[in-house]
Amino acid sequence: MTDLRYRQVAEALRMRIAKGSYRPGGTLESEAELGRMFDVSRITVRKALDLLRQEGIVTSRKGSGWSITVDPLRQVLGTFPTVEASLRDDGVPFRRRVLEFGFVAAPRDVAGPLELPEDAEVLRVRRLNFAGDHAFDLVTTWVPGALGAPLSRADVEGHGVFGSLRRHGVELVDIRQSITASLADDEEAALLEVVSGSPILVLDQVTTGASEVPVKFSEHRYPAHRVHLEVRFPGAAATAEPPGLRLVGT
């Protein structure tokens, strides 16, 4: 139970930080105050904070307490800025690092969204996106083989898959996204600089072109503490329940 409790405290603090409850570089409450806040022992608080320190979310200095080391990347859905554009507007360096680039047979869960026969050839690109020195997005993208043929690894490093398709004359008309949650496995945790089992936000995106034909399918995996999503519904009627949610498995 103690092991579970310190992880619950760490998760609660992650969410408070992601929601902007603390300013970047600001300090957390003292360990004693956090213990009272969560009704746990100081040992449990310290274990939770040590976990967050391993994830690069907080740091400590003798005599100064615990301070925040991350500033969540904020995305407001409805105005539709890209993370890359938002970072550059804020003066934060953005870069991509391509991990894998090659043509493969489309697995079933990729062939479906792309409306391709199973095992059809697709270009598969796996990359990390960085804000400054820290990775914030592990993304895997699949493109039908014929559309991916003109693309190079250098294209994708410089312009991303979306931008590269546009530069090669592919019309990109519509985007459909779905967002779920998961836990980072060992490989994802190492790439995203978090502890294995940390919460991650999973965003699947299907991009269609002319005649509503899918031209790109991508899966983005974000550390939960590094992104903050807001959704605006201008002029929407008041509702007691968040719109746009769908239960699965019922």
- The architecture (CATH level 2) of 2-68 comes to Orthogonal Bundle (1.10)
Contact 69, 52 (CB under 8 A): no
Q: What is the pLDDT of residue 1?
A: 47
The pTM of this model reads 0.68
Arithmetic mean of pLDDT, 132-150: 92
Arithmetic mean of pLDDT, 203-207: 92
Report strand pairing: 227-231 vs 73-77.
parallel
Q: What confidence tens digit (pLDDT) does each residue in 45-55 have? A: 999 898 888 77
Share of the chain above pLDDT 70, in %: 81
Arithmetic mean of pLDDT, 241-250: 62
Give the separation between CA 194 and CA 136, rounded to whole angstroms: 10
- What fold characterizes domain 73-231? Chorismate lyase (3.40.1410)
- pLDDT bin (cut points 50, 70, 90) of residue 207 is very high
Q: Do domains 2-68 and 73-231 have the same CATH topology?
A: no
- pLDDT bin (cut points 50, 70, 90) of residue 242 is low
Give the separation between CA 56 and CA 195, rounded to whole angstroms: 10
Contact 147, 103 (CB under 8 A): no
- pLDDT bin (cut points 50, 70, 90) of residue 23 is confident
Each domain of the chain, given as residue ranges in start order, spans 2-68, 73-231
Q: What confidence tens digit (pLDDT) does each residue in 72-120 have? A: 555 544 544 566 766 776 677 888 999 999 999 999 999 999 999 988 9
Least confident among 52-61, 70-79, 153-162, 189-198: 70-79
